[in-house]
Structure 1
Amino acid sequence: MSFKIAIIGAGSVGFTKKLFTDILCVPEFSDIEFALTDLSEHNLQMIKAILDRIVEANRLPTKVTATTDRRKALEGARYVISCVRVGGLEAYADDIRIPLKYGIDQCVGDTICAGGILYGQRNIPVILDFCKDIRELAEPGAKFLNYANPMAMNTWAAIEYGKVDTVGLCHGVQHGAEQIAEVLGAKSHSELDYVCSGINHQTWFIDLRLNGRRIGKDELIAAFEAHPVYSQQEKLRIDVLKRFGVYSTESNGHLSEYLPWYRKRPDEITRWIDMSDWIHGETGGYLRYSTETRNWFETEYPQFLEAASKPLDASKRSNEHASHILEALETNRVYRGHFNVKNSGIITNLPQDAIIESPGFVDRFGINMTSGITLPEACAATCISSINVQRMSVHAAISGDIDLLKLAVLHDPLVGAVSTPEEVWQMVDEMVVAQARWLPQYADAVPEAKERLSKSKVKTRDWAGAARRNVRSIEELRAEKTALKQAG
Structure 2
Amino acid sequence: MSFKIAIIGAGSVGFTKKLFTDILCVPEFKDIEFALTDVSEHNLGMIKAILDRIVEANGLPTRVTATTDRRKALEGARYIISCVRVGGLEAYADDIRIPLKYGIDQCVGDTICAGGILYGQRNIPVILDFCKDIREVADTNAKFLNYANPMAMNTWAAIEYGKVDTVGLCHGVQHGAEQIAAVLGAKSPRELDYVCSGINHQTWFIDLRLNGRKIDKDELIAAFEAHPVYSRQEKLRIDVLKRFGVYSTESNGHLSEYLPWYRKRPDEITRWIDMSDWIHGETGGYLRYSTETRNWFETEYPQFLEAASKPIDPQKRSNEHASHILEALETNRVYRGHFNVKNDGVITNLPRDAIIESPGFVDRFGINMAAGITLPEACAATCMASINVQRMSVHAAISGDIDLLKLAVLHDPLVGAVSTPEEVWQMVDEMVVAQAQWLPQYAHAVPAAKERLSKSAVKTREWAGAARRSVRSIEELRAEKAALKQAV
Specify the TM-score bucket, using the shorter chain as the normaliser: over 0.9
Distance in structure 1 (CA, Å) of the matches to 2:122 and 2:463: 25
Identity %: 93
Q: Deviations over 1:184-205 (max 9, x none)?
A: 0001111100000000000000
Q: Deviations over 1:435-468 (max 9, x none)?
A: 0000000000000000000000000001000000
**Post-superposition shift, 1:254?**
0.1
Match of 2:45 in 1: 45
Q: Deviations over 1:374-395 (max 9, x none)?
A: 0000000000000000000000
Distance in structure 2 (CA, Å) of the matches to 1:483 and 1:194: 37
Match of 1:121 in 2: 121
Match of 1:305 in 2: 305
Q: Deviations over 1:147-188 (max 9, x none)?
A: 000000000000000000000000000000000000000011
SS for the counterpart of 1:34 is strand
Distance in structure 2 (CA, Å) of the matches to 1:190 and 1:314: 17
Q: Deviations over 1:116-136 (max 9, x none)?
A: 000000000000000000000
Match of 2:385 in 1: 385
| Pair 1:92-2:92 in alignment | yes
Distance in structure 2 (CA, Å) of the matches to 1:17 and 1:191: 29
SS for the counterpart of 1:145 is strand
Distance in structure 1 (CA, Å) of the matches to 2:432 and 2:199: 27
**Post-superposition shift, 1:94?**
0.0
SS for the counterpart of 1:260 is coil
Distance in structure 2 (CA, Å) of the matches to 1:74 and 1:276: 42
Distance in structure 2 (CA, Å) of the matches to 1:36 and 1:250: 30
Q: Deviations over 1:211-234 (max 9, x none)?
A: 100000000000000000000000
Distance in structure 2 (CA, Å) of the matches to 1:32 and 1:402: 44
SS for the counterpart of 1:361 is strand
Distance in structure 2 (CA, Å) of the matches to 1:330 and 1:483: 45
Q: Deviations over 1:38-80 (max 9, x none)?
A: 0000000000000000000000000000000000000000000
SS for the counterpart of 1:373 is coil
Distance in structure 2 (CA, Å) of the matches to 1:344 and 1:96: 34
**Post-superposition shift, 1:274?**
0.1
**Post-superposition shift, 1:271?**
0.0
Q: Deviations over 1:287-307 (max 9, x none)?
A: 000000000000000000000
SS for the counterpart of 1:153 is helix
Distance in structure 2 (CA, Å) of the matches to 1:361 and 1:351: 22
**Post-superposition shift, 1:101?**
0.0
Match of 2:103 in 1: 103
**What pairs with 1:156-305 in structure 2 (closer than 5 Å)?**
156-305=156-305
More displaced 10-residue stretch of structure 1: 183-192 or 408-417:
183-192
SS for the counterpart of 2:375 is coil
**Post-superposition shift, 1:269?**
0.0
Distance in structure 2 (CA, Å) of the matches to 1:408 and 1:171: 26
**Post-superposition shift, 1:487?**
1.0
SS for the counterpart of 2:104 is coil
Distance in structure 2 (CA, Å) of the matches to 1:187 and 1:102: 47
SS for the counterpart of 1:444 is helix
Q: Deviations over 1:400-444 (max 9, x none)?
A: 000000000000000000000000000000000000000000000
Distance in structure 1 (CA, Å) of the matches to 2:481 and 2:171: 26
Distance in structure 2 (CA, Å) of the matches to 1:205 and 1:45: 41
Match of 1:317 in 2: 317
Q: Deviations over 1:352-392 (max 9, x none)?
A: 10000000000000000000000000000000000000000
Distance in structure 1 (CA, Å) of the matches to 2:464 and 2:396: 29
Distance in structure 1 (CA, Å) of the matches to 2:172 and 2:354: 19
**Post-superposition shift, 1:486?**
1.0
SS for the counterpart of 1:185 is coil
Q: Deviations over 1:225-275 (max 9, x none)?
A: 000000000000000000000000000000000000000000000000000
Distance in structure 1 (CA, Å) of the matches to 2:309 and 2:76: 30
Distance in structure 2 (CA, Å) of the matches to 1:466 and 1:197: 32
SS for the counterpart of 1:258 is coil
**Post-superposition shift, 1:315?**
0.2
Distance in structure 2 (CA, Å) of the matches to 1:469 and 1:188: 34
Distance in structure 2 (CA, Å) of the matches to 1:357 and 1:487: 39
SS for the counterpart of 1:64 is strand
* Structure 1 stretches lacking a partner, 5+ long: none
Distance in structure 2 (CA, Å) of the matches to 1:338 and 1:263: 28
SS for the counterpart of 1:193 is strand
**Post-superposition shift, 1:98?**
0.0
Distance in structure 1 (CA, Å) of the matches to 2:390 and 2:266: 26
Match of 2:67 in 1: 67
Distance in structure 1 (CA, Å) of the matches to 2:237 and 2:181: 16
Distance in structure 2 (CA, Å) of the matches to 1:486 and 1:364: 48
**Post-superposition shift, 1:311?**
0.4
Distance in structure 2 (CA, Å) of the matches to 1:360 and 1:487: 42
**Post-superposition shift, 1:28?**
0.1
Distance in structure 2 (CA, Å) of the matches to 1:474 and 1:106: 25
SS for the counterpart of 1:362 is strand
Distance in structure 2 (CA, Å) of the matches to 1:179 and 1:89: 30
Q: Deviations over 1:306-365 (max 9, x none)?
A: 000000000000000000000000000000000000000100000010000000000000
Distance in structure 2 (CA, Å) of the matches to 1:178 and 1:36: 31
Q: Deviations over 1:76-101 (max 9, x none)?
A: 00000000000000000000000000
Distance in structure 1 (CA, Å) of the matches to 2:432 and 2:467: 26
Match of 1:335 in 2: 335
Distance in structure 2 (CA, Å) of the matches to 1:397 and 1:190: 41
SS for the counterpart of 2:464 is coil
Distance in structure 1 (CA, Å) of the matches to 2:392 and 2:264: 23
Distance in structure 2 (CA, Å) of the matches to 1:4 and 1:117: 33
TM-score by length of 1: 1.00
Distance in structure 1 (CA, Å) of the matches to 2:246 and 2:14: 33
Structure 1 outlier segments of 4+, above 2 Å = none
* Structure 2 stretches lacking a partner, 5+ long: none
**Post-superposition shift, 1:18?**
0.1
**Post-superposition shift, 1:141?**
1.2
Distance in structure 2 (CA, Å) of the matches to 1:48 and 1:16: 10
